[in-house]
Amino acid sequence: MSDWFDTYGFVVVDDGGLVTGGYPLEEEDVRRLVERTGVTRVLNLCEDREYEPGEREDVERAYARRGIVEERLGLVDFGDVLPGALERGVQTVVPWLQEGETVYVHCRAGWQRSATVAAAILAVQHGIEPDEALGRIQRRKPSAQPLHHQLEGLWRWWRARLARDEAPPEA
């Protein structure tokens, strides 16, 4: 197992099948993730430039051997998590969870981007506000600490979603 994955690891943050953590870098990381959580789907928030040569390919092969579907939503490390990206993450992961899949949402270390996106997913899935969703994640994964501007983006997305859902139908 890679030192990175051993250090940052992964945690089941919701009994409905949501797991978050750091990025797997080799076959052994994927094996451990699957054996311990049963992951069948992955939402990868990393950009290609975050990987060393050959790492992405190794992980892609490991996923393919296990029949794991991976979607990519590259978000800039330490950057903003914009409402459109949050909505895309929610629209990707919530249906997987509703179908009974176990989903791994990860960024590089599993502290910021993945926590932000996972909070959006739990907010929609459970009908709770983002702070409560993040609190649920942090109880199981105390290292989940989105940056201030990422939390602002999460709330902008949430308020826009609520306004859209409450808007009267167009005539």
Residues of the chain with pLDDT under 70: 167-171
**Residue-wise DSSP of 5-38:** HHHH-EEEEETTTEEEEPPP-SHHHHHHHHHHH-
What pLDDT is recorded for position 6? 87
User: Where along the chain do its domains lie?
Assistant: 3-161
Angle at which helix 113-126 crosses helix 148-166, to 10 degrees, equals: 30
Q: Which residue has the tokens 């983002």?
A: 130
The CA R_g of the chain, rounded to the nearest whole Å, is 16
Find residue 42's DSSP bridge partners: 70, 104
What pLDDT is recorded for position 171? 55
What pLDDT is recorded for position 129? 97
What pLDDT is recorded for position 2? 86
User: CA nearest 19: which of 50, 43, 3?
Assistant: 43
Q: Would you state the torsion angle of the CA atoms of residues 152, 154, 156, 161, taken in this order, to the nearest 10 degrees?
A: -170
Which alpha helices (DSSP H) does the chain contain, by range? 3-8, 27-37, 55-66, 83-98, 113-126, 130-140, 148-166
User: CA nearest 97: which of 38, 16, 36, 20?
Assistant: 16
What pLDDT is recorded for position 169? 65
What pLDDT is recorded for position 167? 67
Widest CA span of the chain, in angstroms?
Answer: 58
At the fourth CATH level, which superfamily is domain 3-161? Protein tyrosine phosphatase superfamily (3.90.190.10)
How close are the terminal C-alpha atoms of the chain, in Å?
A: 57
What pLDDT is recorded for position 166? 79
In b/e form, how buried is each residue of 29-67, taking b as 16+ CB within 10 angstroms? bbebbbeebebbbbbbbbbeebbeeebbebbeebbeeee
